[in-house]
Amino acid sequence: MVVTNVRIPRSNYLQIKARAGELGVSFNKYINTLVKDSMRRQMMRSNVSQSMIKKQQSFWKAMERISKIKGKPMGWSEEDKAIYSV
């Protein structure tokens, strides 16, 4: 356990203390809960962002690999020609 001082405006302190009282918990417990919840949300956002970035990167890498394939069909396939009368 670490004991530290935190400087906050008096008006915030009074609001936090009142809210903690409404919830039936100590000022300390309420602050710790707020900090823990905030950190959890930030980490989840960060994990989601990192996951999305990795998916986008792998998509573009796959597209690059596909673009380098030799002998891939270009233009209309025989089925396309029959269907679209080209």
Phi-psi region of 46 (alpha: psi -120 to 50; beta: other; left: phi over 0): alpha
Coarse DSSP helix, strand, coil percentages of the chain, rounded to the nearest 5 percent: 70, 0, 30
* pLDDT confidence of residue 34: 94
Q: What is the mean pLDDT of the chain?
A: 84
Q: Give the residue extent of every domain in the chain.
A: 10-64
Q: pLDDT tens digits for 14-55? A: 999 999 999 999 999 999 999 999 988 888 777 777 778 788
* pLDDT confidence of residue 59: 82
Higher-confidence residue of 75 and 36: namely 36
